[in-house]
Amino acid sequence: MKLMLPITACVLALIPFAAQAQEAEHHHDDSAMPMKPRVPPSKGLNVTFQGKVTAFTIEQLLNLPQVTVHVHNAHRNTDEEYTGPLVSTVLEASGLKASKETEPLILHSSVVGTGTDKYFVLYSCAELEPLFSKGQAIVAIAKSGLPNDEGGTIQLINTGDAKPARWVHGLTNLNVMSVAQQ
């Protein structure tokens, strides 16, 4: 019983500090929070499809047909413009060409996009293919017409989601995985 009294006193003494910390947590000023560190820049993009890796430099990505998308970045509450090839164009250059014959493969495959900071996202191939989706997903290499230094040089940007949670800064890998029966 004598041991319980000091422990109880310590707990009671800490309650005001815990309440103060909890209050500060709920009323923090977002503008005072430090910004996240920048994602390390990606120097190129590797696409893995059916065991084969296709490496793209930024120059090679620039030589593919370019698309410009206008998106709303809910994290910053700003409208932004990005330019780069469609992900489907990059996948086609890596061997996954959309056609009547490859439709089952596309419908039964997914793509994992990974950034230099190891952040990764998952898409179905159908979400990335214009034959199946109204949204656009691009491998962005420019923001507002300029090289994208802020977003890790190469980014995966899509117009189909309400939030940019599946955007990848510093995009370095696209890995196509299939669950199609062979």
pLDDT tens digit string along 74-120? 888 999 999 999 999 999 999 999 999 999 999 999 999 999 999 99
On the question of pLDDT at 56 being above 90, the answer is yes
- Tally of residues, the chain: 182
On whether residue 92 sits in a domain, the answer given is yes
On whether residue 93 sits in a domain, the answer given is yes
On the question of pLDDT at 12 being above 90, the answer is no
Task: Say what the pTM is.
Answer: 0.78
How far is residue 160's CA from residue 133's CA, in Å, rounded to a whole number? 9
On whether residue 39 sits in a domain, the answer given is no
Q: What is the mean pLDDT of residues 68-72?
A: 95
Pairing of strands 142-143, 109-115: unpaired
Into how many domains does the chain fold?
1
On whether residue 139 sits in a domain, the answer given is yes
Q: Tokens 């939030």 appear where?
A: 163
- CATH number for the domain that contains residue 50: 3.90.420.10
Phi, psi of 60 (to 5 degrees): -65, -35
On whether residue 5 sits in a domain, the answer given is no
On whether residue 23 sits in a domain, the answer given is no
- Using DSSP's 3-state secondary structure scheme, residue 180 falls into coil
Quote the domain boundaries for residue 166: 44-178
On the question of pLDDT at 36 being above 70, the answer is no
On whether residue 156 sits in a domain, the answer given is yes
